[in-house]
Amino acid sequence: MSYTCSATETYTVSDIEIVTRRVTSDFIMIASSTGAVSEDRARDWGNDIEILAKNGFLKTVDLTLLSGGIEIRAVRYDVNTKSGNLTMSRPGGVLWPKVANPELRIILFHTDLYDDAAKEKLKGKLRNNWSPTSVNTNHSTLKTYANRDYPSNGYGMQRKDFN
C-alpha cells in the first residue's frame, strides 16, 4: 500500500511504521522512567497510533505526565505528511522523573476522515478503548524546551516537548 501526498512527495506503510516505532520508543522510555504505566501499555498505545496513522486518521498525539492532577511534563507529536524538510532525530530525551501519584494521560487527535465508518473499520484492531474528551492540551503551565523530528520519506511526526 502506498500513499501519495503530492506529485513530488510520497510515503509508504513502511515509512509510517518507521516513524511510529520511534514514537513508541519514546512512550516506552517515558513509561519506564516514570513508572506510571507498564511498558506493555506504552506498546499498546504505539500499536493504536500506528493503525490510525496507516489509515490516515491520526493528526496529533499528546502525552502528559501528571502528579496529583498537575502537569509535570508533556510531549506532542504532530503528523507531517510533507516531511521532506524534516531532519531525522533519534528517539530519546524523555527520561521523565518519578513523581508522587503519577498518571500518564494520552490524547489522540484524529483527522476529519475518522468518522463512524472509519471507527467500524478499525473495530477490534485497536488495543485501547478511546473516548472523546474535552481536556485542554495547550500546556499553559509548562514551557516548550525541545523539539525532535521523526521523518521517513514524505511521512513524519514533529515532536514538541514541554517542561
Alpha-helix runs per DSSP H in 3-77: 13-34, 39-54
State how far the alpha carbon of 158 is from the alpha carbons of 35, 62, 126, in Å: 25, 12, 23
Model confidence at 9, pLDDT cuts 50, 70, 90, reads low
Q: Record the pTM.
A: 0.90
Q: Residue 30 pLDDT more than 70?
A: yes
Domain boundaries, the chain: 7-90+97-127+139-162
In the numeric block, the cell 500500500 is attached to 1
Helix pair angle (39-54, 13-34), 10° resolution: 160
Residue 125 neighbours by CB under 8 Å, 6+ apart: 51
- Which helix (H) or strand (E) segment is 149 a member of? strand 144-152
Rounded distance between C-alpha atoms, residue 127 and residue 64, angstroms: 20
Q: What angle do CA 22, 24, 26 make, to 5 degrees?
A: 75
Q: Which three cell numbers stand for residue 133?
A: 474528551
In the numeric block, the cell 504505566 is attached to 37
pLDDT digits (tens, 9 = 90+) for 68-114: 999 999 999 999 998 667 777 777 789 999 999 999 999 999 999 99
Tell me what the mean pLDDT of segment 16-20 comes to.
Answer: 97
